[in-house]
Chains A and B, each alone.
Chain A
Amino acid sequence: MQDLGISVLFKGINMQRLLLGLWAALRISLISVLISIPLGILTGIVMTLRNPVTKVLTRVYLEIVRIMPQMVLLFIVFFGVTRVFGINLPAELSSIIVFSFWGTAEMGDLVRGALISIPKHQYESAAALAMSKAQIYLYIIIPQTLRRLVPLSINLITRMIKTTSLVMMIGVVEVLKVAQQIIEANRKTSPNAAFGIFAVVFLLYFTACWPISLLSRYLEKKWS
């Protein structure tokens, strides 16, 4: 009775389904992260330009991402594109597009912040040492920027992993959806399953995000 429903996970292929769901969530978020980081760095550099046109464009882009809930973006890409252009994007591809669109904007803003946080005297001191512009960036600015970026981007990455729970709305069966399916299918035989299964889901998310935090700590130490 009070087994918290963990036993439900060992019925049939339930555990395997849960892990496959986790893999779906990780696949979407990690591909999006891999796309977002390089694009975000470029966006960040563009954001620091004094060009009014790029400034307005990046500003509008960032504000759109900030204001629109990810859910709305998912619906626009998954259903809207089909409705307006007749292009049928698969659910997983739609998710990757939305998460990259979101990740690029937020990453860009982080890069922008890191870049402008490098004090001006760093550039001037380097120039006084007769370093070339390329050298200044390579040896002085970029290493310091990266170090400031690491904890911030780790936050973003783990947030992206967790937000994948929304993609169930467009039919992608990821870990949380599998958990709901398992709980609901066993509602009568083990009504307490919700607690145990959500605890396992918590552990799965934790094991997915924890190595990323470790990597971040390692990098921060190494670069400090």
Chain B
Amino acid sequence: MKRRFLKKLLTLGTALTFTVSVMAGCGSGDASVEASADTGSESAGETSNGGGFRTLDEIKESGTINIGVFSDKSPFGYVDENGEYQGYDVYFANRIGEDLGVAVNYVSTEAASRIEYLQTGKVDIILANFTVTDERKEEVDFALPYMNVALGVVSHDDNVLTSLDDVGTDDQIIVISGTTAETYLTKNYPDIKLQKFDAYAEAKTAFENGTGIAWANDNTEVIAFSLENEGYTVGIPSLGSADTIAPAVTKGNTTLLDWLNSEIESLGEEQFFHTDYEATLLDTYGADYEDTLVVEGGKTE
């Protein structure tokens, strides 16, 4: 009975056969793209390593370099009220464009998609507070570093903790779950009691209320916290394996990588990153941490 209705529908005739063919064309849009791999493979020959990249000469020729930055991570990469990209990373990116003689096209990236952007060649360089790690080195090529990042420990002014060896048996240190601080303390100081919180805000409240004697986190975070809030001191500004932040390019893009490395070295001679720090980070971190955070000429201590 329903069948009859459907048969009637079928008798709409040509219109329907047409729709079926349209459906086959559009509905399976993704599938047909996958199926047409043969047609694409010839043109994709040069990009068979996945997306491909632009060499230094190609970038210069095109007149524009695509640089992936954060657009909402003040003070490293953000957009000001005039719609202009600003920040420590952006200051460097502008200089790269200047020295290459090309315009900079900023691409707003998220932490999770930074590697994808490089691997598909959608940006030439990532300058988004990108910490160098061994896992990431497998996926992308890092240039020389331009900033240090390590762990830091902040404590209350009346009981400043300057060494983790001074932690008493009943004292507790606050960490945020899943951060490098938690991993580091668990591994290297298994005897210290940790209070773990899931969110930044919870850890902050707990620390302010004195449930732990100190709070361990990225040093940029704890420094900013101690400067923004009265009554706290960063007793240990740099702890654990010192990581660095560096520009990254698509794996195998040696021409651009070599140029970036020599650029960073020559910028070191004019103390460029100190100027950068003073222009962008000074308000947040103050002058005391300039030498802790800045890496000049790609040389870490």
Contact = CB atoms under 8 A, between A and B. Distances in A.
Interface of A: 8, 11-14, 17, 39, 42-43, 45-46, 48-50, 54, 57-58, 61, 75-77, 79, 81-88, 97, 101, 104-105, 116, 120, 123, 133, 136-137, 168-171, 173, 177-178, 180-188
Q: Is the interface of A mostly helix, strand, loop or mixed?
A: helix
B83 interface: yes
B72 A177 contact: yes
Contacts of B2: 116, 120
Given A13-B82, A182-B79, A185-B72, 11 more contacts: A12-B80, A12-B81, A46-B16, A46-B23, A79-B120, A169-B112, A171-B109, A171-B117, A173-B108, A181-B78, A185-B80
B83 A13 contact: yes
B84 to A, nearest CB: 9
B40 A86 contact: yes
Nearest to B86: A185
The 9 closest A-B CB pairs, nearest first, are: A12-B81, A86-B47, A86-B44, A85-B40, A82-B120, A11-B81, A42-B19, A184-B72, A181-B79
B202 interface: no
Contact of B113 (A50, A83, A170, A187): A170
B51 A86 contact: yes
A180 B74 CA distance: 11
Interface stretch (B7-15, B151-159, B207-215, B272-280): B7-15
Contact of A123 (B8, B34, B37, B83): B8
29 contacts: A39-B27, A42-B19, A46-B16, A46-B20, A48-B9, A49-B10, A79-B119, A84-B37, A84-B44, A85-B33, A86-B43, A86-B46, A88-B120, A105-B27, A116-B2, A120-B1, A133-B11, A133-B12, A169-B113, A171-B113, A171-B122, A173-B71, A177-B71, A181-B78, A183-B72, A184-B74, A184-B78, A185-B74, A188-B283
A81 B33 CA distance: 8
B121 interface: yes
Contacts of B86: 185
A58 B112 CA distance: 33
Contacts of B287: none
A185 B71 CA distance: 9
Given A42-B23, A43-B23, A101-B30, A82 B74 contact: no
Contacts of A50: 3, 6
Interface string B63-85: 00000000111100011111100
B67 to A, nearest CB: 12
